[in-house]
């Protein structure tokens, strides 16, 4: 395995794996919330609590401060994991460019003199 292949593979795993882990956690949490909502909707103790019309709304589940903090964590994990997916798209050309011998030579011959001597006339 070449060094470039190893670096690209590690970069892909580091930037893509968090997204899929967060998606799995979101699916698990959605199933838990759906089962809690279904249990709350069918857990009537008084017959007068049954919905009378077809437009009746299911009971609202109160969100505790602990679950609100958990929701904030999930939101941040979603944002960060999606940003890492975009970084994955941007980092591949950089990896290939930096690990390519021809690119390094071009960089030294063209870019470095520009920074030392200024723009060519």
Q: What is the pLDDT of residue 44?
A: 55
Q: What percent of the chain has pLDDT over 90?
A: 19
Spatial distance between the Cα atoms of 53 and 32, rounded to a whole number of angstroms: 27
Of 79, 78, 80, 40, residue with least CA distance to 61: 40
Q: How far apart are CA 40 and CA 47, in angstroms?
A: 15
Asked whether residue 16 carries a pLDDT value surpassing 90, the answer given is: yes
Average pLDDT, whole number, for the chain? Answer: 76
pLDDT attached to residue 13 = 94
Mean pLDDT, residues 44-72: 60
116 pLDDT band (50/70/90 cuts)?
low
């Amino acid at each position: 395995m070449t060094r470039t292949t190893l670096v690209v593979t590690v970069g892909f795993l580091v930037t893509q794996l968090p997204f899929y882990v967060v998606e799995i956690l979101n699916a698990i949490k959605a199933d838990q919330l759906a089962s809690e909502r279904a249990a709350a909707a069918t857990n009537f103790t008084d017959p007068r609590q049954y919905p009378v019309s077809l437009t009746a709304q299911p009971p609202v589940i109160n969100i505790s401060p602990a679950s609100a903090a958990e929701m904030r964590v999930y939101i941040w994990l979603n944002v960060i994991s999606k940003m890492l997916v975009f970084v994955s798209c941007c980092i591949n050309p950089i990896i290939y460019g930096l690990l390519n011998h021809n690119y390094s030579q071009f960089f030294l011959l063209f870019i470095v003199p520009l920074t030392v001597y200024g723009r060519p006339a």
